[in-house]
Chain A
Amino acid sequence: MSTKLSLIAAAIMLPLTMSVNASAINQTKGDFEDKFRQLGQALPTPNVYRNAAGEPGAQYWQQKVDYKIKATLDEENRRLTAHQSISYKNNSPDTLKYLWLQLDQNIFKSDSIAELTSTVKTKLQSGPDKGKAKISLNTLRRQQFLDDTEMGYQIAKVKDNSGNALKATVVGTLMRIDLKKPLKPGKTAKFSMDFAFNIAEEDAVGARAGYEHFEKDGNDIFLLAQWFPRLAAYTDYEAWTNKAFLGSGEFTLEFGNYDVELTVPADHIVSATGELENASSVLTKTQRSRLEKAETSKRPVFIVTEEEALENEKEGSSKTKTWKFNAEKVRDFAWASSRKFIWDAKGYQQGGDDQPLVMAMSFFPVDGGDLWKKYSTESIVHTMEVYSRFSFDYPYPVAQSVNGPVGGMEYPMITFNGPRTELQDDGTRTYTQAEKRFLIGVVIHEVGHIYFPMIVNSDERQWTWMDEGLNSFLDGIAGREWDPTIPWGVEAQDIVPYMKSERQVPIMTQSDSILNFGRNAYAKPAVALNILREVILGRELFDFAFKEYAQRWKYKRPTPSDFFRTMEEASGVDLDWFWRGWFYSTDHVDISIDRVYKLRLDTKNPDIDYGRLRETELNKPVSQFVERNKAEGRELWVDKNQDVSDFYDDNDRFTVTNKERNSYNKFLKGLKPWERKTFERAVKEDKNYYVLEFSNLGGLVMPILLQLTYTDGTVEDKYIPAEIWRRSPKKVQKLIVTDKNKELKDISVDASWLTADIDVENNYYPRRIIPSRIEAYKSKKRDGKVNRDIMQDIKTELKKDEDKKEKPLTEDKK
């Protein structure tokens, strides 16, 4: 068995090692690598749809898809049935014979690619003491749920506007609808269909939506997303984006308008993408007046209070109500429904012409507790305040946060967020500081996604980093403006273990093929952008360029090249090396300062230089041989025979004669006036010349952030742009000239840990011992105090004499 395995392994290893480098430009001499080669060739050719500036081109187009949906939630059977009619406007220059739709619910079908290719990773060895293979209860629960529940869409009556049946072909998570006649540019196709599916139990299958059942009161929270057959995007760069849904690569869709009618049990509260159109028939008068009050309230106002929600969840209802929502210019529609919801709201008066008032609203069961009451809606408002500064005014009437079984997920105007409080035995609900940070962080992150990618509509199925990376970068900014002690992700140091690890793929990798998803698509791009902003471009240039990108692509569809080009074009800084290093490669940052040489300018004047040479000679350590002879009391011949001496006893080899002086004068005379002036000034100033030798061990070229400490105690920061590596990417030398009295004591590279340099030890000259975390921890522990957990220790009870283990508080204080 094992021999077979190793044979296979050897066979597949071979092609891997051979298929390196298939670029059209090849460096075949020496080992030089052009880290600054322009990206031009790697990026798609600019055209009339996307220009070379990274802007939508003169003939940019995108399709428009409007939906009218009537859906009914069957609470008892956890099933959704619906009818939708779609209006598809072909703005492309192409004639379309068929349309592709995404059927994301089909991912749960047993014959989906995702299910068929899900793998187990376990070492199976036979023999009693080799350990057992594992299977989890969760895996079994999922299996059982999928066995018992028929998953995926049932689709019927696919018809065109005139009632003619259209041929629909399901291909896994996609469906092709063949049109009766080809859809010409500028024309609109209208068609409709019925569909239904059983809703997944989120906790059983793990998904981005689904229902959650509460055993205690028998009620559910329903989160409905990726719930209707949606038109796949038809684009200028990929035509139909009909790559199968495998789970990781989310989606990209078309903008359009939605009219959605949701029929749910009469006692449910519904939160959805869009504006509620029939408040008067689904909300009570009290609820409506509370909503109005919330518009100008300083703090969130309860539309449904905790008491009302608890009352509501006691009984069910066999009656139904229909909630009508309208949403304009959105790329998707999601919703949530439950009789468990507490609902609060607060108006965000952002001003401006687009959307002066946005209602920030939260929906959560009693489990949300004070955590949600205090922080969810406020976090929504804070997100809009910060993100709008980096992009554009929030353009929709509502921004919502809903608590349910999903940890964190985003859709236009609505987000799902997981953190909750814990019910204690005494009936109170508590949460930890970590949970609080987490709630604020996740709400910021998910509401931030309403900007990226719900408005700046990047293609998530291809490029996770374009929304997750940009959004993680921005949530770091918003988090720090909330409370800088909330650590949420953009510290360069945090990604060092990932950057030095072997298990990596470039950021520019299709979503479903990414290894180490969170670090690759969230943390690394977020840190990279933070470095770009704080270290390379500076805030002013970066923020200008980033805002330009957001505004150029608002309601449009950017690709990676549009981002790279815009950032470069708007900042006026060549960043091709940066994108190459951080986004196209798996290099890491490791810049080492290897050596420092101190040099002094020759004056050419023998009366000065010879004296210096003599001094140098005298400064050399005395020969140990001679020292030992002296110690043994050996008398020297010259001392014993002092009567015998000559010229050389009085004149050493550094004695200056007129021969040297003549040649010095000749040298001076031979200088042109400017040469002489320069030379004399340099001799007079007698500056210090230092040559610093750096090597780039990580491969990623970066600016060198130098910190020079002088013997007089002063410290100077010097920024050497990354371009220093352009002709010599592995090793460079840099000359630093300082005033005569400014002598270098030591030098460090990236002393503030801004660049994710993976090895700090080689960042110092002279070298310093950098203690490992354990060494640092042990030495810190010794000096006590700092590590005391006073918050905890203050609770310590004073113990009786016989218990000597715990020190009472009073003793500690001394």
Chain B
Amino acid sequence: MKALIIDDSRAMRSILRRIVTSLDFETDEAGHGQEALERMESGPVPDVCLVDWNMPVMDGYTFITKVRANPDWRNVTLMMVTTESEQQQIVRALAAGAHEYVIKPFTPDAIAEKLEMLGLVGGAA
């Protein structure tokens, strides 16, 4: 499994990388949505993107709408990981095509449990 971690903070990317690496994911990283789109166009398509909302150049919401607009990427699971926690924002992100949503701050277990719920971790028979 491959995870693309998209967050403008290196420290946050580092935290997320450690969590998903411990769950046996290979990881790649991008500092904003535009960079992430370029990664996905040029490199292997990830199984899951962990996406921050507020980032420079291209925010995570825009990134999600762009990924969902491309049928080649319909199998990519999108999980927002963001401090954006107004209820209507969560509704918007889900409507735009995010599969799951994790609010910062989170504990490592939260990421693991959500990835498991999405069938990306653990003994899904």
The answer to whether A and B belong to the same complex is no
- Residue positions of B touching A, CB distance < 8 A: none
